[in-house]
Amino acid sequence: MNLNKISKNVTEKNHTYKGFNFFHDDDQQIFLTIARGEFNIRGFQNKNLRMKLKEKTTSQMCRIIKRLRVHGLIRKIAHSYKYHLTTLGRNVIALGLKLKELVIIPQLAIQN
């Protein structure tokens, strides 16, 4: 249910934000990065994500962070520039990555 929720487009203030796809390399890299343990303790900022995702510019990271917020995967820490994963975000990312690694990829390998 939650995986289905984040894969759909969301409209906020007449702007549509696309859903997430666990099979798209960019989305998977974003999920792997924000699920890192160091970010669960202290939270993360745009610059922290850019250090891990070197190919992304500041403006691209701003759009990614907004997309994560609109889908309810992260929330802003009050009076700071930091964000952290919501419970929904932790559950969805863990479930999505486990399904991909433990079920879908092995099934595809068996079929080939």
Domain boundaries, the chain: 2-111
Give the pLDDT score at 105: 66
Give the pLDDT score at 59: 94
Average pLDDT of the chain is 88
Angle, nearest 10°, between helix axes 25-34 and 87-98? 130
The whole-model pTM stands at: 0.85
**Cβ contacts of residue 27 below 8 Å, gap of 6+?**
20, 21
* CATH architecture designation of domain 2-111: Orthogonal Bundle (1.10)
* Residue ranges of E strands in the chain: 10-12, 15-17, 74-76, 83-85
